[in-house]
Amino acid sequence: MTLLTPPRLLITDDDRDFRETLAGMLSDRGFETLQAADGEETLKIICRQEVHLLLLDMQMPRLSGLDTIERLHGLDVGWTMPTDGDDMVDEGHPTPKPRFVLPWILISGALDEQLIARARAAAAFSVLPKPVRLPELTGAVAGALAKAYNWRAA
Annotate 19-65 with DSSP letters as a single string. HHHHHHHHHTTT-EEEEESSHHHHHHHHHHS--SEEEEESS-SSS-H
pLDDT in the model for residue 117: 93
Spatial distance between the Cα atoms of 154 and 138, rounded to a whole number of angstroms: 14
pLDDT exceeds cutoff 70 at 124: yes
Q: Which domains does the chain have, with CATH numbers?
A: 8-149 (3.40.50.2300)
Q: 65-73 vs 113-121: helix axis angle to the nearest 10?
A: 10
Q: pLDDT digit string (tens) for 61-96? A: 888 999 999 888 776 555 444 344 444 444 554 444
Q: pLDDT digit string (tens) for 4-36? A: 579 999 999 999 999 999 999 999 999 999 999
